[in-house]
């Protein structure tokens, strides 16, 4: 049966990759229209906008793949159904379970490459692209990503360990250097909040370096004027969906160690860990439309069905995730339930068709 598996893999893979390419081109064009509004700010020119969009494409591949896999399965297997090849396979004694297993195998092989892209390729490229975009657009602010971030703010060199939801910073160090490149003072703040156009530092320890001594003082709070605005932080504080599994684990651990709310990051972590389950759900829910009474429908109808099912999954995933966080249920439920519901509906319908 390996020959049959390869044949089904080729049909599903070809349709999936073509669909993915079409979705990427559509997304690229729409994103380019948005980016053109920022062209001209600072040194952000048209080629810089194109570079930014190209660098974030691996992340878009990861995001669009479930939809592409669903539509690709419908179109690829639909071609076999329209040419009566599925009927011949069924007449040769192959069950719906066997054929569905071949489709699932093809989908999981494709998803392996996408998972590698989403974990190791997309996050660093996305971060680099956003940093370069921010620098090109204008600020006299040097930014370097990593574990936390470094920024130059005039004569100060600032390191921020964590960027938290609600425009808050954690574990900040500011090093003041004079024009002769001599260190003048070191300031450490436990956290900072952005209020009224400036930062309010809390839990401060400041050390001033003099010729023969170091004077240290402790302050409960202090205002701090900086060119590091919340807009800049949007670049540095990546969306949870754009983080790798490893980075999410590190950040979740940091939040929990400091008694901070990590539920949103747990939800995204579970979604990434359960990505193979999502891909299986996309394939299983597509099969009844291939083997059922709708198997004679055209490519246009299958495309519409795939887009509607993908939209339904996206809305269900978004809604259940927010409901789970709102009512304090374990994030695992919000991450797993949409896929389980789609899997259950798909397997139930396939069982009715046997």
Confidence of residue 141 (pLDDT cuts 50, 70, 90): very low
Compute how many other C-beta atoms are within 10 angstroms of the C-beta atom of residue 99.
Answer: 20
pLDDT, tens digit (0-9, with 9 covering 90-100), for 30-61: 999 999 999 988 889 999 999 999 999 999 99
Q: What is the pTM of this model?
A: 0.79
Residue pair 55/129 in contact by the 8 Å Cβ criterion: yes
Compute how many other C-beta atoms are within 10 angstroms of the C-beta atom of residue 165.
Answer: 13
Q: What are phi and psi of 40, to 5 degrees?
A: 110, -15
Residue pair 221/239 in contact by the 8 Å Cβ criterion: no
- Beta pairing partners, 162: 170
| Most confident range, picked from 193-207, 220-234, 240-254 | 193-207
Confidence of residue 347 (pLDDT cuts 50, 70, 90): very high
CA 6/CA 11 separation, integer angstroms: 9
Confidence of residue 143 (pLDDT cuts 50, 70, 90): very low
Is residue 320 pLDDT above 70, yes or no? yes
- Which of 213, 164, 165 is closest to 190 using CA atoms? 164
CA 284/CA 349 separation, integer angstroms: 10
Residue pair 186/205 in contact by the 8 Å Cβ criterion: no
Q: At what angle do helices 2-35 and 46-55 cross, to 10 degrees?
A: 150
Q: With left for phi above 0 and alpha for psi between -120 and 50, is residue 282 left, alpha or beta?
A: alpha
pLDDT, tens digit (0-9, with 9 covering 90-100), for 145-184: 445 677 777 788 888 887 776 678 888 999 999 888 889 9
Compute how many other C-beta atoms are within 10 angstroms of the C-beta atom of residue 280.
Answer: 20
Q: For 104-115, what is the mean pLDDT?
A: 94
Looking only at the bridges linking them, the beta strands covering 214-224 and 148-153 are: unpaired
Domain ranges in the chain are 2-137+243-353, 148-227
Confidence of residue 234 (pLDDT cuts 50, 70, 90): low
């Amino acid at each position: 049966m390996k020959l049959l598996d390869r044949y089904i893999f080729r049909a599903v893979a070809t349709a999936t990759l073509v669909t993915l390419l079409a979705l990427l081109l559509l997304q690229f064009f729409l994103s380019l229209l948005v980016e053109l509004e920022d062209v001209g700010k600072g040194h952000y020119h048209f080629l810089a906008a194109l570079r930014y969009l190209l660098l974030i494409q691996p992340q878009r591949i990861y995001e669009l793949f479930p939809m592409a896999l669903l539509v690709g399965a419908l179109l690829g297997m639909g071609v076999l159904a329209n040419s009566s090849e599925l009927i011949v396979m069924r007449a040769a004694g192959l069950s719906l379970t066997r054929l569905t297993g071949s489709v699932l195998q093809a989908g999981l092989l494709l998803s392996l490459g996408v998972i590698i892209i989403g974990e190791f390729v997309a996050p660093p490229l996305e971060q680099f692209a956003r940093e370069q975009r921010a620098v090109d657009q204008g600020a006299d602010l040097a930014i370097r990503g990593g574990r936390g971030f470094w920024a130059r703010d005039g004569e100060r060199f600032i390191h921020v360990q964590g960027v938290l939801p609600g425009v808050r910073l954690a574990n900040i160090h500011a090093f003041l250097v004079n024009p002769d490149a001599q260190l003048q003072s070191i300031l450490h703040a436990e956290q900072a909040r952005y209020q009224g156009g400036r930062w309010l530092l809390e839990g401060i320890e400041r050390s001033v370096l003099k010729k023969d001594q170091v004077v240290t003082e402790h302050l409960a709070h202090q205002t701090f004027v900086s060119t590091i605005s919340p807009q800049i932080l949007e670049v540095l504080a990546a969306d949870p969906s754009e983080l790798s599994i490893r980075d999410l684990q590190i950040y979740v651990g940091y939040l929990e160690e400091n008694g901070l709310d990590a539920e949103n990051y747990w939800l995204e972590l579970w979604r990434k860990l359960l990505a193979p389950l999502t891909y299986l759900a996309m394939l299983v829910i597509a099969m009844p439309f291939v083997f059922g009474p709708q198997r004679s429908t055209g490519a246009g109808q299958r495309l519409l069905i795939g887009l509607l099912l993908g939209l339904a999954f996206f809305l269900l995933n978004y809604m259940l995730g927010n409901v789970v966080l709102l009512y304090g249920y374990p994030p695992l439920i919000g991450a797993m339930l949409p896929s389980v519901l789609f899997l259950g509906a798909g397997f139930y319908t396939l069982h009715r068709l046997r």
